[in-house]
Amino acid sequence: MKTKLKIEPETLFLLHTVVLQQSQFSLTGRNSGKSMIIELFEILSKKCIAYSTNANGKKRDLELRFHLAEKLLELTKTKLSDRSLGIYENNKLEIFKNELHQKLI
């Protein structure tokens, strides 16, 4: 089962940063969680590189398998509670989290 989202480029790069930070801090824990974070990082990296080669400002399609979408939702929730980002970034993450939650229901 897959979920398909249309996200803005700013949100895409923000999610890439969130997953990158989480991958650096996930040295302990279950191997399945680490594997999902690495897979998310690879998917988001490819999307960011593809956008960088053709930066037109349009929304991008992000298609994730269900378990990866749930992991991304979990990561955004933990990052929102972290409060290390600014107001604009928190709002972007909150909007994305709400859209992703609607798709997963």
Residue 72, judged by CB atoms within 10 A of its CB (0-12, 13-18, 19+), counts as: buried
Strand, coil or helix: 63? strand
**Token pair 């929304």 is at which residue?**
59
Q: Which of 38, 24, 29, 47 is nearest to 72 (CA)?
A: 38
pLDDT digits over 42-88, tens only? Answer: 999 999 999 988 888 888 899 999 999 999 999 888 877 777 788 89
pLDDT digits over 9-51, tens only? Answer: 999 999 999 898 887 766 556 777 888 888 999 999 999 999 9
Q: What's the pTM?
A: 0.85
Residues across the chain: 105
